Every structure is written in C-alpha cells, then in structure tokens.
C-alpha cells in the first residue's frame, strides 16, 4: 500500500476542492460496492475480487477566501442571512456549508488545506484515533520549521510556547498564551468507513494582490483582534479577525511565519508545496504508527495529477 498525494499549486475554489474529493470518495465507494457484489456475506474481505483497493490519498491545496461551517452544526445553530451577508460582503469571501464536522472556520491563500480520503477499516483505525493522527502529523510538520505545538481539550493544533524564551522570539509582541493561539483547524467526515476532509494549516499571511488590496479594509474591531497582524495585514489577518474561529471565544488564530517559522509573517517560511510534502510524509508515518497490528503498512508517498481524477476544467 502507498499514499497518493495530489497537490494543486494554484488557488482553487472551495467547490472545486469538493469535486476532487468526491472523485476520490467515489473510487473508494465503488470498490466497496464491487466487493459487496462479489461477497455479500462478508463485504470487508477482498479475497473474492481480483481488483486492488484504492490507495489512501492526500489532497492538498489553497482556496480563494471562503468561510465554511459543518452542516450538522449549521442545522442546530443556523447562521442568519444577515450574518452570511456580512461574511460575503462585496464578494470578498464565499460562504459554504460543508459535510465535515466542526464549526465556522476560514480558508484562504496562505493556508494549506489537506483532505485525506482513506478506508479506516483497512487501516484498523477508529475515527477518534484518526483525528489524533492528523493532529500529531500537523504537530510534526510544524516542528520541521521549529514551531512547537500541542493538542488541548479543544480540537485542532495549538502553539506551545517556552515562556523563558518568549521575549527572545522575533514575534514576542504576541501576548496571548500558547493555549489561546490556534495554528490548525481539523474537521473530518466518515461515511461507510471512508474518511474525508481533514486539516487547515495556516502557513503565512499571504498579501493581497495590488488590484484587490483596496477592497480588503480592516475595521477598528478587526485591528483589536489577536488574529490580526499589523505587520502583514494579509488574507489570514483579514478573514480570521472577522469571526470567532471554530466557536472558541477568547482564542485567536496564528500561522507558521508568525510563530518563528519565518522572519516575515507576510512571506512563507518555505513554499507551501514543501509544507504539503512534509505533511504527506508525516501522514504516512502517522498511519503506520496508528494502524492495527495486523494491518498493512503504507510503504511510500507518490504523486498523482489532477487529470487522474477530473478532466481539465480551467478552474
């Protein structure tokens, strides 16, 4: 077994990311249906079919500014039309209900979004352990750029500060406690044992293109937000300073470059594609660490192309 990795280097729409993910999901569901047709008594066995199961696949990309919220949460806690109008005012950001779990969050340039489509039963991993695996994979990825992180009682990945060294850090103006600064949101969906969606890892506060910069204004309330960085004033500062991310009052959002993963918070500490490649490696290691004792290991990561899933669309 290998882990396939599809990285999209250009910005794509959130809808296009779902189309790619749905194509991956359909491969997994089609295989399950084929197995069930050959062996209706024990559909978990592949002994009666000569076809091989699809490899687990990681899809990594960055999207246009988009606010998303889990559909189940949206049903229980509706976001009013006036709130949606605020989020999407002047066409500066989109709003989408998502099949993933979780509350309101934000995706934009400068963030690496990663969806992992895999058969949990094939790996012998529970949904709860899968989320833990994703969190730990993100933590190791951040560690590659010497940004120390941790898990807390709240979902996602959070900054872990060494208080003794805090004043020596180039970003010591950050006054929030480590447990209050979130660097990665996590939300997954499991259907028929297949997991989808995944992580939103904030890498850098990507600057606005000159042609759009005048449209993205910061209110005084936004400038008071701990998610706002006055040095970079980019997509992440703008989008996260407008909301209570993931419904966690009193918390803020941060990114690798802001936490010492780069000297300039508006510039990536490295190419986002490099972060994606490191994350892919860590997911492979995480699956192997978490898998059931008798389950097959993931031997390597390999790249696939967008054309392997969808015809050219021009998105």
Domains belonging to the chain, first-starting first, are 2-33+53-161+181-305 (3.30.930.10)
* Alpha-carbon gap, residue 30 to 240, rounded angstroms: 38
Q: Which residues are documented as binding site?
A: 100-107, 185-187, 198-200
pLDDT class of 269 with cuts at 50, 70, 90: low
Cβ(53)–Cβ(298) below 8 Å: no
Residue 83 · residue 256 · CB < 8 Å: no
**Please, are residues 79 and 27 in contact by the beta-carbon 8 Å criterion?**
no
- Binding-site residues for substrate sit at 100-107, 185-187, 198-200
The predicted model gives 13-38 an average pLDDT of 93
Q: How far apart are CA 70 and CA 55, in angstroms?
A: 26
What's the rounded mean pLDDT across residues 180-206? 94
Residue 89's Cβ-count burial label (10 Å; 0-12, 13-18, 19+) is exposed
pLDDT score recorded for residue 48: 45
Q: Are 155 and 309 in contact (CB under 8 A)?
A: no
- Please list, in sequence order, all residues whose beta carbon lies within 8 angstroms of the beta carbon of residue 291, skipping any fewer than 6 positions away: 123, 124, 125, 297
| Structure token pair of residue 231 | 């040095």
> Phi-psi region for residue 146, left (φ > 0), alpha (ψ -120 to 50) or beta?
left
Report CA torsion sign: 245, 60, 314, 22: negative
Q: What is the pLDDT of residues 195-235, one digit of tens each?
A: 999 999 999 999 999 988 889 999 999 999 989 999 999 99
pLDDT tens-digit series, residues 69-92: 887 777 777 788 999 999 999 999
Q: What is the pLDDT of residue 243?
A: 86
* H or E segment and range at residue 202: strand 194-202
- pLDDT reading at 172 higher than 50: no
With beta carbons less than 8 A apart as the criterion, state whether 265 and 204 touch: yes
pLDDT tens digits along 290-300: 999 999 999 99
Q: What pLDDT band is residue 50 in, cutting at 50, 70 and 90?
A: low
Region 262-289 average pLDDT = 86
Rounded CA separation 62/200 (Å): 9
DSSP code at position 187: E
Query: Whole-angstrom Cα distance, residue 56 to residue 122?
Result: 10
3-class SS at 148? coil
Average pLDDT over residues 11-25: 96
Q: Say what percent of the chain tops pLDDT 90.
A: 65
């Amino acid at each position: 077994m290998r882990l396939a990795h599809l990285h999209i280097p250009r910005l794509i729409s959130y809808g296009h990311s779902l189309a790619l993910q749905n194509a991956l999901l359909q491969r997994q569901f089609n295989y399950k249906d084929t197995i069930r047709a050959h062996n209706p008594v024990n559909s978990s066995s592949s002994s009666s079919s000569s076809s091989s199961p699809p490899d687990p696949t990681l899809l990594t990309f960055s999207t246009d500014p988009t606010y998303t919220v889990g559909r189940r949460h949206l049903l229980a806690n509706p976001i009013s039309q006036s709130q949606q109008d605020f989020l999407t005012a002047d066409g500066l950001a989109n709003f989408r209900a998502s099949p993933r779990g979780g509350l309101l969050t934000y995706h934009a340039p400068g963030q690496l979004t990663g969806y992992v489509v895999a058969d949990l039963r094939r790996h012998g991993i529970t949904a709860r352990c899968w989320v833990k695996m994703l969190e730990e994979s993100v933590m190791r990825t951040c560690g590659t750029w010497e940004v120390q992180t941790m898990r807390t009682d709240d979902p996602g990945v959070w900054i872990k500060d060494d208080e003794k060294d805090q004043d020596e850090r180039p970003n010591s103006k950050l006054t929030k406690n480590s447990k209050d600064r979130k660097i990665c949101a996590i939300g997954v969906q499991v259907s028929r044992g297949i997991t989808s969606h995944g992580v939103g890892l904030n890498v850098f506060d990507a600057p606005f293109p000159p042609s759009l910069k005048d449209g993205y204004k910061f209110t005084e309330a936004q400038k008071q937000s701990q998610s706002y960085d006055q040095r970079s004033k980019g997509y992440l500062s703008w989008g996260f300073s407008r909301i209570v991310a993931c419904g966690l009052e009193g918390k803020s959002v941060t990114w690798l470059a802001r936490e010492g993963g780069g000297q300039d918070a508006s510039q990536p500490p490295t190419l986002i594609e490099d972060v994606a490649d490191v994350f892919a490696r860590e997911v492979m290691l995480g699956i192997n660490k978490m898998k059931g004792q008798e389950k097959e290991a993931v031997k390597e990561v390999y790249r696939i192309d967008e054309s392997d899933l969808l015809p050219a669309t021009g998105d």
